[in-house]
Amino acid sequence: MKLHFLMLLSLSLFLGCELITPSPTEGKTHHLAIALSYVGTNIRSDDYLDGTLPDAIELEKAFDALFAGKEHTSTLMLQDGNDDLDDLLLPTKAHVIEKIESLSDAMDEQDILIISYSGHGMEDGSLVLYPPRNDGSIFSKSGSMYTDVLLTVEELYDALDSAKGSVLLLMDSCYSGNFVLESETSYSLIERNAYLQKIYDQYFTEGSYTRPVFVLAATTYDNTASETASHGHFTQALLEGLGWDEENQRQREVDQTISVDYLYQYVYYHQDIALNSVNSWEYQHPTITGGPLDLILR
Amino acid sequence: MKGKRLYLIVLLILVTAGLPAASGEQYYAASSSLSYYLGIPHFEDEIPARSSLAVSTTVGFLGYQGSNWETVLQAHIYSVSDSLPFGNYRARGFNSLGLSILASWSLSDRFSLFIQGGSEVNFYKQIEEVFASFSFKLGPQFLIAEEPTYQMHLIVPLSVHLRKEITALQAGIGIRYLLFPFKRGDT
């Protein structure tokens, strides 16, 4: 009797749960694209961004094509110089938080929420959004930046608190690596040396893994990100990795599972800027959330 | 403190494995096995476990064989594939590099049991993150070929891979090859 029980237990273990558990019902996907050109604000015209709006628009098309035939919706929150504070899709801090909270609240367990951001980022990772003022001023007359334009890392994560499904942040901004929270169970080697002692210390620390908000960011926490005239370097490569043929405006065949790890690899090997260099403005290194799981998009 | 303890353990393993080797009957070993890898998460996941495929290769560089027992210090390399997709996720695949010590006891001329313990550093295949783990393996080994200079065994390893966030069970099959640089019996 005991032997039969053990055999049954072994068999149930080694049959593999994926093979005997019914697949969950496919969830909905939603893409929220946030992008700012800063035209019409009082930042220096040299700091206007040309690639951000095309980033958001093309990403929306790419995800529409990627999730064609599935329950997919998208929202564009763009700032392009023709801005009206009454427009709920103008990316002010209040509008962005409200939108993210409402999308998070509406999620079921199998849903995926993708949030992309193309715009300026501060040294602590904060996103620079449109000011809640009709004159579009980001800087005060004394030259200091208004804090009501900044959406911090913590505030964005707080807005995602109620999300029951999977969340992916695609961040194309300076210092966007700040959104990649350090893993409790693995040790990042990006621009760090691997000390055996630290790797083993992490094994014995008390932190544990919880399914995270997945982040794919253009750069590390301490480096800038840059753009060409048409796109951010990161988003340009990301669009290609998603299989989006921008020139012909169609989805090309990608003969493998499109996951966050796959996209990271694609950007890593195909971005049109060096991964490492002496001067920070000459390179950017993409970053990704660590841990044991990879999020599958298609 | 924990690090010092670790170095001490490694030193003890080296000394333990090195002493008998100096007295003769030394051998080198290599093994390769293919296993089913069942990762049981310690965190909330969509399913109780995720399935991957694991390939393991070991190179034993300090081995000693007695009359009915043997022990070897070895370097091991694992390669674990991405798991089967389920829901919105799959477990990330990784490669491992580590050190382990194996001991076996012969129960007959052709049949013996082995046990192995070790530790390794694991490198995720697609992202630049690493993690530490410990692994233990046991199983039967069957002598399928023997000459004065070598032995070949069929092995059926059952193992447990202790990661911080996952405990993985493995079952597989493989081959183990022992090479005796000095003719056995000579001193």
Query: Where are chain A's structural domains?
Result: 26-288
B131 interfaces chain A, CB cutoff of 8 Å: yes
d(CA B96, CA A199): 13
Angle (nearest 5°) at CA B33 between B27 and B37: 140
Mean pLDDT computed over A164-191:
93
B184 interfaces chain A, CB cutoff of 8 Å: no
Q: What CATH architecture does domain A26-288 belong to?
A: 3-Layer(aba) Sandwich (3.40)
Mean pLDDT computed over B142-155:
93
How high does pLDDT run on average in chain B?
89
Identity of residue B38: L
Q: φ and ψ at A27, to 5 degrees?
A: -90, 180
Q: Tell me the two tokens of residue A109.
A: 């367990």
B146 interfaces chain A, CB cutoff of 8 Å: no
Q: Tell me the pLDDT tens digit for each residue of A218-239.
A: 999 999 999 988 999 999 999 9
- Strand pairing partners for B113? B105, B140
Q: What is the pTM of this model?
A: 0.89
A interface mutation test: which of B126, B128, B166, B170 has the most A CBs within 10 A? Answer: B128
Shortest Cα–Cα distance, B70 to chain A (Å): 29
**CB-CB contact of A238 with A270 (8 Å):** no
Classify domain B2-179 at the CATH topology level: Porin (2.40.160)
- Please provide the size of chain A in residues: 298
Q: Tell me the pLDDT tens digit for each residue of A16-37.
A: 578 788 888 999 999 999 999 9
d(CA B41, CA B51): 11
